[in-house]
C-alpha cells in the first residue's frame, strides 16, 4: 500500500518550506558559506549597475523598447484575470490558443513501435524502442516496466534537461550499462547520481523517456563529423571531443531555430507534440493505466513538464524542477531563459509562464526550486508561486499545489526526487 502523502506533511519535512518565506529569508540573510552562489553573484552585479543608462542589461539599448512591449502585454487568458466561471471551458480556450501559437500540429499517426532490446534490471525491465511521433519522425525511447507490481500500473513521462549538453538526451536520466564517465559525471552534478526513473520503476511505476529534438540520437551531426570519425556513439569518445561537440551544437542552436521558424513551425511545438505523442504511445501499452499518468523534468525538462501538464488533460500530477518563474521579472537582467527551444511567439499576450501550468488544474502540481539557482530572479519565482497558489485556492484545491525549496544550485536533488515520488504516490 502506498504511503498517504499530504501537502502538510511535505511542508513539515526538514529543509522544506514555502517558496515565499524561503526566498525572502535567502534574500535578506547573508550567506555564511564559501560555496558558490551564482544567483547572489548576479544580484550583486545588478546592484552595482542599476544606475547605468540601460541598467547593465545584456539587452543594452534595446532594453527600453523590449520592456515597454512586455509591460503592454495583457495576459488576457490568465486564470486570475479571466476569472472563468467554467474551468473546463477556460482550459479549452487557453489550450487552443497555445496550440495555435506553437505553429505545429502534426497529424495523428500509428506509432509503429519497434522494441529493439529488453534488459532485466532485477525489479524492472528496461526496453529500448523506437516509435513514431509523426509519420516522418521516429524517436528513440527507454521504457521501464516494474516486475513486482500488479498490472496495469501508473506511468511517468520522464523529460530530460537541456544543460547545453546535446550529446545525450534520455540517457541523462536513464542509467545504462558501461556508460561513458562523462555522462555519469553529468548525472552526478544535476541529479546527485540518481536515475530517478529507475527509482520510480522500483516503486511500481512504468516510466518512459525519449530524446527531445536536437539531443541524444537526434543531436546535430555534420558531414565534417562523419569525415573526422567523431560524434559517434559506436566508440567511447573522450570528454574533450564531447565538450567540443556540445559547444558547437550550442552555437548552431539559433541557426536551427531560425530555420524552423522560416519553414513555418516552432521548436517549442516540436517538443510539445513529441511529448504528447509519447502519452499516445503509452496508451497502446497494456502494462499502463492510461488514467494514471504523471510527468516530471529538470530545467528545460521542467519547461516540457509545464507545457505537457498544461496541454494534455491525461496528466494527473506533475513535478517541475528548476524552471518556474514569471516572465515579468526576467527583463532586463535575466534574459537567458530565451533559449530557442522554449520560445512560443506571442504567448505573453495571453498567458504568463506559470499560467500555462495552471491549465492542469485540478491536477496536482509540485515545483522544486534551488535558492542558489541563477537562471531566474527571486522576484520572478515568488510571483510564479503566488500566481499558482492563488489559482489553486480559487478552485478550492489549495492542497494540490506545493513547493519544495532547498539551499543549492540548479539541479534535481535526491530529497526533491523522494518528495516527488511521495507526491505521485498520493495524487496519481
Q: How far apart are CA 234 and CA 231, in angstroms?
A: 9
Cell numbers that stand for 202 in this block: 522500483
Q: How far is Cα 164 from Cα 250, in angstroms, rounded to an integer?
A: 6
At 36 the pLDDT is 73
What is the CB neighbour count within 10 angstroms for residue 202? Answer: 18
Q: List the beta bridge partners of residue 212.
A: none
Shortest CA distance to 54 belongs to which of 63, 45, 46? 63
Residue 53's pLDDT is what? 86
| Bond preceding residue 386 cis, omega within 30 of 0 | no
Helices and strands in the chain: count of H runs, count of E runs: 17, 9
- What's the Cα-to-Cα distance from 330 to each of 227, 249, 326, 338, rounded to whole Å? 42, 25, 8, 10
- What per-residue confidence (pLDDT) applies to 252? 95
**Cell, residue 359:** 491549465
pLDDT of residue 5: 39
- pLDDT at residue number 372: 93
CB-CB neighbours of 92 under 10 Å? 13
Is the distance from CB of 153 to CB of 146 less than 8 angstroms?
A: yes
pLDDT of residue 40: 83
List alpha helices for 79-122, DSSP H. 79-82, 87-101
Cβ distance 253 to 214 under 8 Å?
yes
Tell me what pLDDT residue 212 has: 97
pLDDT of residue 23: 58
Round to whole Å and give the CA distance between 83 and 251.
Answer: 43
Give CATH superfamily name and number for 7-427.
Alpha/Beta hydrolase fold, catalytic domain (3.40.50.1820)
In b/e form, how buried is each residue of 243-280, taking b as 16+ CB within 10 angstroms? Answer: eebbebbeeebeebbeebeeeebbbbbbbbbbbbbbbb
Question: Helix, strand or coil for residue 233?
Answer: coil
For the chain, percent helix, then strand, then coil, each to nearest 5? Answer: 45, 15, 40
**Contact yes or no for 297/159 (Cβ under 8 A):** yes
The C-alpha atoms of residue 151 and residue 205 are separated, in whole angstroms, by: 10
- Predicted local distance difference test score (pLDDT) of residue 18: 47
Element of type H or E holding 125: strand 124-132
Distance separating alpha carbons of residues 131 and 110, to the nearest angstrom: 9
How far is residue 148's CA from residue 1's CA, in Å, rounded to a whole number?
Answer: 13
The pLDDT of residue 35 is: 66
Question: 3-class SS at 198?
Answer: helix
Domain boundaries, the chain: 7-427
Q: Sign of torsion, CA 347 352 356 359? A: negative
Q: Is 369 helix (H, G, I), strand (E, B) or coil?
A: strand
HEC sequence for 329-362: HCCCCCCCCCCHHHCCCCHHHHCCHHHHHHCCCC
Residue 2: per-residue pLDDT: 42
Q: What is the DSSP letter of 171?
A: G
**CA separation for the pair 406, 409 (Å, rounded):** 9
Please give the biggest Cα pair distance in the chain: 64
Residues of the chain falling short of pLDDT 70 = 1-35, 336-338
**From CA 419, how far away is CA 423, in angstroms rounded?**
6
Amino acid at each position: 500500500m502506498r504511503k498517504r502523502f499530504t501537502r502538510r506533511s511535505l511542508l513539515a519535512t526538514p529543509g522544506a518550506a514555502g517558496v515565499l518565506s524561503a526566498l525572502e529569508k535567502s534574500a535578506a540573510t547573508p550567506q555564511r558559506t564559501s560555496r558558490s552562489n551564482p544567483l547572489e553573484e548576479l544580484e550583486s552585479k545588478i546592484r552595482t549597475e542599476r544606475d547605468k543608462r540601460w541598467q547593465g542589461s545584456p539587452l543594452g539599448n534595446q532594453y527600453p523598447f523590449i520592456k515597454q512591449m512586455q509591460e503592454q502585454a495583457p495576459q488576457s487568458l490568465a486564470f486570475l484575470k479571466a476569472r472563468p466561471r467554467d474551468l473546463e471551458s477556460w482550459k479549452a480556450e487557453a489550450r487552443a490558443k497555445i496550440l495555435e501559437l506553437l505553429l505545429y500540429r502534426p497529424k495523428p499517426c500509428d506509432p509503429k513501435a519497434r522494441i529493439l532490446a529488453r534488459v532485466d534490471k532485477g525489479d524492472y525491465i528496461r526496453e529500448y524502442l523506437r516509435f513514431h511521433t509523426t509519420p516522418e519522425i521516429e524517436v528513440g525511447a527507454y521504457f521501464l516496466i516494474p516486475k513486482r507490481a500488479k498490472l496495469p500500473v501508473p506511468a511517468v513521462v520522464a523529460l530530460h534537461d537541456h544543460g547545453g549538453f546535446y550529446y545525450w538526451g534520455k540517457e541523462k536520466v536513464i542509467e545504462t550499462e558501461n556508460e561513458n564517465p562523462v555522462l555519469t559525471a553529468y548525472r552526478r552534478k544535476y541529479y546527485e547520481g540518481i536515475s530517478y526513473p529507475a527509482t520510480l520503476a522500483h516503486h511500481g511505476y512504468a516510466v518512459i523517456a525519449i530524446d527531445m529534438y536536437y539531443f541524444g540520437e537526434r543531436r546535430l551531426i555534420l558531414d565534417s563529423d562523419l569525415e573526422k570519425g567523431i560524434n559517434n556513439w559506436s566508440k567511447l569518445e573522450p570528454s574533450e571531443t564531447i565538450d567540443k561537440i556540445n559547444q558547437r551544437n550550442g552555437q548552431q542552436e539559433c541557426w536551427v531555430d531560425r530555420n524552423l521558424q522560416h519553414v513555418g513551425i516552432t521548436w517549442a511545438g516540436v517538443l510539445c507534440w513529441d511529448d504528447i505523442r509519447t502519452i499516445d504511445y503509452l496508451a497502446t501499452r497494456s502494462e499502463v493505466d492510461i488514467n494514471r499518468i504523471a510527468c516530471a523534468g529538470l530545467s528545460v525538462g521542467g519547461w516540457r513538464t509545464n507545457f505537457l501538464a498544461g496541454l494534455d488533460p491525461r496528466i494527473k500530477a506533475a513535478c517541475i524542477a528548476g524552471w518556474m518563474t514569471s516572465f515579468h521579472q526576467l527583463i532586463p537582467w535575466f534574459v537567458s531563459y530565451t533559449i530557442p527551444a522554449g520560445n512560443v511567439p506571442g504567448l505573453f499576450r495571453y498567458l504568463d509562464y506559470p499560467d500555462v501550468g495552471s491549465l492542469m488544474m485540478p491536477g496536482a502540481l509540485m515545483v522544486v526550486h534551488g535558492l542558489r539557482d541563477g537562471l531566474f530572479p527571486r522576484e520572478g519565482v515568488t510571483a510564479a508561486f503566488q500566481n499558482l497558489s492563488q489559482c489553486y485556492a480559487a478552485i478550492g484545491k489549495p492542497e494540490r499545489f506545493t513547493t519544495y525549496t532547498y539551499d543549492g544550485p540548479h539541479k534535481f536533488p535526491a530529497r526533491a526526487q523522494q518528495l516527488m515520488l511521495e507526491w505521485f504516490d498520493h495524487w496519481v
